[in-house]
Homo-oligomer: A and B are copies of this chain.
Amino acid sequence: MTTTTAPRVSPQTLSNAFETLATRFQRDFFTSQSQREQHSHTTTWIAPQLPDAVVLVRSVADIQDAVRICARHRLPIVPFGAGTSLEGQVNAPFGGISLDLREMNRVLAVHSEDLDCVIEPGITRKTLNENLRDQGLFFPIDPGADATLGGMASTRASGTNAVRYGTVRDNVLALKVVRGDGEIITTGTRAKKSSAGYDLTHLFIGAEGTLGIICEMTMRLRGIPQSIAAASCSFGSVKGACDATILAIQSGIPLARIELLNAAQVAACNAYSKLTLPLTPLLLLEFHGSEAEVAEQSSAFAEIAKDCGGGAFEWTTRAEDRTRLWQARHDAYWAAAAIRPGSRPMSTDVCVPISRLADCVSETEHDIERFKLIAPIVGHVGDGNFHCLMLCDVNDPDEVARGHEFVHRLAERAHRMDGTCTGEHGIGQGKQDYLVPELGPEAIEAMRAIKKALDPNGIFNPGKIFPLP
């Protein structure tokens, strides 16, 4: 974890920059301690690092002016959406401003025939879907938290639906990005595919705000499926659940969601959501399609589950039953947190080839025992991606040290199994040590060269993804 306290701009420069920002942004410029605290990172055990000020932007022109003022003074800019990132992405290790984009939350256009829409980056996933529902459309990426779309793009988020609909990466058609001199880069058109030059769209997706500020997004949408069925199935072992998943994907069942909860997480959900699920690994599933398709998919999966040692396969298309089941999954974070009141929940994720997932989860469960940690596991098992929600007493240095060692070994385990240290949370500050072991120094040299090429003054979210040179 990076804990650098490296160069900040001088107090005189800061004061000059503040004067210009205050004049330009008036009541949307904040320097109060409470605003600065709200905009630094609090959802994990990474220590908050406050920005010097907060600028609330309401338009593309606002972003451009804020960037130009900051560029002139070499003041760092940390973009801020809903603040739900998990690896310190919104911290300000070198001060500067937090650029709050939440007021830029409009849907600018919906093209229902083309299944796309144009939005501002500060809109949240739920608000967007509320806007689309009337037209029978939805945006399929669901990372759990009600994140902003700009934030989701910046961390290359995904979540429970990715097994069918892909990640954010697969659902952005084009971006507009404010670069370091305030001008705007357009990365694509509304065409569904393009071979026109370098893929800038995908370069900005997952860049964690280090290459520019996303100011407009063109997103792919889907039609709301005619029928949705939910199902659950308990297994005697993680391996059984993973085997069923592999077979289902191999045989082409278009699973919309397939989530693994380990026994510890099932116990937490039972307690929190007043369920009576068996205390063994559980798969929660969702099927989308026509009524006939959904029925066929469900029965095909039920067969597979039986062959893999699954218990009773329960499925339903009734909205209230579906909601009850998936509400429990959505509340998994809170359910886990409730196991140990007063602890700081710390969510970490890795992603491995699906053939290695059962091994990876089992070894991780052994480590949790070995290090005497409390860390229920939930997994987007169709993608080979899983999370440990560690509940740590941050006032116990020994436990914190064990937690760090556990996370370190988890990343190493993912690498050993041909996987990645993060499937959907990003590198931020928390995973920087694992990037070179994962890809080698050459890839990181290429990333640094790109950073320097597109952000020569180094003002965009410095110290994220990789430490300053």
Interface positions of A (Cβ within 8 A of B): 111-116, 155-158, 162, 166-167, 169-170, 179, 183-200, 202-203, 205-207, 211, 222-223, 225-226, 246, 249-252, 254, 289-290, 292-293, 296, 300, 351-355, 383-385, 414-415, 418-427, 431, 434-435, 438-440, 442-444, 446-447, 449-454, 465-466
Contacts and interface: CB of A to CB of B under 8 A. Distances in A.
A466 to B, nearest CB: 8
Given A189-B419, A250-B113, A292-B296, A447 B197 contact: yes
A194 to B, nearest CB: 4
B200 A206 contact: no
21 contacts: A111-B355, A112-B250, A114-B353, A116-B353, A169-B199, A170-B170, A186-B440, A189-B419, A190-B353, A192-B383, A193-B383, A193-B385, A194-B351, A196-B420, A196-B438, A198-B206, A198-B450, A198-B451, A199-B202, A226-B252, A449-B454
Copies in the complex: 2
A426 B195 contact: yes
Nearest to A163: B192
A217 to B, nearest CB: 15
Contacts of A296: 290, 292-293
Contacts of A157: 195
Contacts of A113: 246, 250, 353-355
Contacts of A246: 113
B423 A195 contact: yes
Contacts of A435: 196-197
B351 A443 contact: no
A446 B454 contact: yes
A158 B194 CA distance: 10
A222 B253 CA distance: 11
A46 B203 CA distance: 31
A420 B188 contact: yes
Nearest to A418: B190
A318 B390 CA distance: 55
Nearest to A243: B113
Contacts of A300: 290
Contact of A427 (B197, B202, B422, B444): B197
A156 B195 contact: yes
A326 to B, nearest CB: 20
A246 B169 CA distance: 23
Given A111-B355, A191-B418, A353-B191, A223 B196 contact: no
Contact of A193 (B115, B290, B424, B452): B424
A378 to B, nearest CB: 16
Nearest to A452: B453
A192 B351 contact: yes
Given A438-B189, A454-B449, A195 B427 contact: yes
A384 B440 CA distance: 39
Contacts of A179: 442, 446
Contacts of A114: 353-355, 384
A463 to B, nearest CB: 14
A3 B215 CA distance: 37
A166 B170 CA distance: 9
Contact of A449 (B116, B249, B443, B453): B453
A422 B197 CA distance: 10
A223 B199 contact: no
A385 B190 CA distance: 12
Contact of A202 (B115, B203, B353, B466): B203
Given A113-B354, A452-B453, A196 B421 contact: yes
Contacts of A187: 439, 443
A269 B290 CA distance: 36
Nearest to A194: B420
